[in-house]
Chain A
Amino acid sequence: MSQRRIGLLLVLPAVAVFLLLFIAPLIYGAWLSLHEARFGRILPGLTLRQYEVLFTNPTYTDALARTFRLSGTATVLALLLGYPLAYALAFKLKRMGGIITIIILAPLLMNVVVRTLGWVIILGRSGLINNVSVNLGFGEFILLYTETAVLIGYVQVFLPFMVLSILASLQTMDLNLIKASSSLGATPATTFWKVLFPLSLPGVLSGSIIVFSLSSGVFVLPAMLGGTNLRVLSLLAYQQTTTTLNFPLGAAAAFLLLTIVLLVVLITTFLVERTRFREVFRRASA
């Protein structure tokens, strides 16, 4: 058997799984979103009715805005918290790196419901924060069922992706570049902004894309921490398909979410790569 045929055979299972479990449902979902349903039954005939609902019904427009407000803010917060952490891990705390990495990764090893329940307990009316606040005389301070609560949850879960992604780009950096900058007279701050940060942009970008797309797709976390009033698009899609059984509307919501995330990712990538930092990305992909 030729090398080429062995190669094809080796990728075949993965390709099959990918087509079956990812592409096929996607096409089916897109097709489904162009229909109407009554009592759980799909009616014949194509229509854009579901998308009309999504863009006009306040419940859905609110959810849409909230979804991207939350994921956008979560991405920025994760970046602001994650960059210093990754920086410290890469350059300052090399010895303790192992332990800190485990601590950062720990949230990912925990079941999502258990982890979120923890936040419910901490943030709720009889929760830790409120108790402390009341006892210290600061009055009631309830975070649960606010967007802040959802954000806290997002940042905790998605921070590791940001940190690991930035860390990877910092760790592969040529340390002589930092020495060179410093020998040329640049202060540590200048070296950071002129050399280190620009060269870590690929990590920043991929971390942001991961956090943004993952956080716009979760629904257990916003459901538990945001409550019934703060619904996001993914939660509505989930409810339409599992409770209301309006499959076309659920599919349309899911499809819209996917499209917007893809667009945001593509546009961001395009814009960043058009800046004067495009050289960084060429090198990263070379």
Chain B
Amino acid sequence: MDVAVSGLVRRFGEFVAVNQVSFQIPSGRCLALLGPSGCGKTTTLNIVAGFLHPDEGDVHVNKRSVLGIAPHKRNTGIVFQNYALFPHMTVFDNVAYGLRQRKTPNDVIAKEVPRALELVQLENLGHRFPRELSGGQQQRVALARAVVFKPDILLLDEPLSNLDAKLRETMRLELKSIQRTTGVTTIFVTHDQAEAMVLADEIAVMNAGVVEQIAEPEIIYNRPATRFVADFVGSANFLRGEIVERETGYAQIKLDFADQTVRAASPEIGAPTGRCEFMIRPERINLSLAPTDAENELEATITNLAFTGSLVDCYCAVGDQSLHVQVISSRHALSTGQKIWISWDAREAFVLRDAP
């Protein structure tokens, strides 16, 4: 089932919680809605599930609008942030619930439910009540309950947010393999960028009700469209300047903070001319103790160093611009106040769509 959402708008009173949200998910693919708290992720999900009616826009499943269809007729599997397991039913009955609503014969239920529980590695806990399970186990029951009846669409609302870091990582991979094996079209809400990167085929980054960018994880990371996306996904240095010349895919930028011109990748269309801002990831900056012939080289002074084990976070200043550079720890004996030369490959710097 492919899902297409177009021009969704949802207001609560004056407040616009979801503003012109559009995306398409090809059948069997997984889209992550990524964004900070309150940006409208759950609201979007509730609209797709049919619990909320949009003020504008439409939701299509297999090219047919589903807005007029009641939630219980939509065949959507949902995992809620708090799992929402029925506390008065056993794990088995929770998982069987969706099948029973579909008038599945008992002998089929007796086969399907254990299979779903096996999928989430809980085959022996069918007789337990939700209260008797750990958070991770409850989450897996919720997942089994949502996939056992072969839904057309799977909606996951921050399903891993209540788990500890270790379990979260395991569940992440488990979720991914379940999504792949069941081949169900999935929308996955999270505010954890690593989660989105691992699980999703595409990520839609949301901010204040608006989708800022939709793209594959690598593109979101390497070619963020806006400052918000660059900042929300990973860490980034933001540098400002004036575009003095453009070539295909690149721009020559005269820096504000140094009397120097550098090159940065720039989207073909919609890139700003004149004033611009570009970003570069800390680990994509090269550091050397002496000047080299590299392009985009700047002389800098180390202002702060933080050893994190395998990596060193090096903060340095070029004029009044401070930069965050990440290097592998054993290579350099660095010290604060030291002069260094930093440079980057023009492909690694990227001009943002929103001009300063």
Chain A interface (Cβ within 8 Å of chain B)?
A: 174, 176-177, 179-188, 190-191, 194-195, 198-199, 276-277, 279-280, 282-283, 286
Contact = CB atoms under 8 A, between A and B. Distances in A.
Nearest to B80: A176
A185 B98 contact: yes
Given A179-B80, A183-B146, 17 more contacts: A177-B84, A180-B80, A180-B85, A182-B71, A183-B49, A183-B77, A184-B77, A184-B146, A185-B72, A185-B101, A187-B72, A187-B101, A190-B101, A191-B72, A199-B88, A279-B89, A280-B87
A190 B73 CA distance: 13
A43 to B, nearest CB: 56
Interface in B211-252: none
A185 B145 CA distance: 12
B86 A195 contact: yes
A47 to B, nearest CB: 50
A198 B131 contact: no
Contact of B102 (A185, A194, A195, A282): A185
A185 B88 contact: no
Contacts of B97: 181, 184, 186, 194
B80 A283 contact: no
Nearest to B130: A279
B131 A283 contact: yes
Interface of B: 49, 51, 70-78, 80-82, 84-89, 97-98, 101-102, 129, 131, 145-146, 149
Contact of B98 (A179, A184, A280): A184
Binding site of B, secondary structure by majority: helix, strand, loop or mixed? loop
Contacts of A182: 51, 70-72
A180 B84 contact: yes
12 contacts: A179-B84, A180-B78, A180-B86, A183-B49, A185-B75, A186-B72, A199-B88, A277-B88, A279-B87, A280-B87, A282-B131, A283-B131
Contact of A198 (B75, B81, B85, B88): B88
A181 B72 CA distance: 8
A182 B71 CA distance: 6
A180 to B, nearest CB: 4
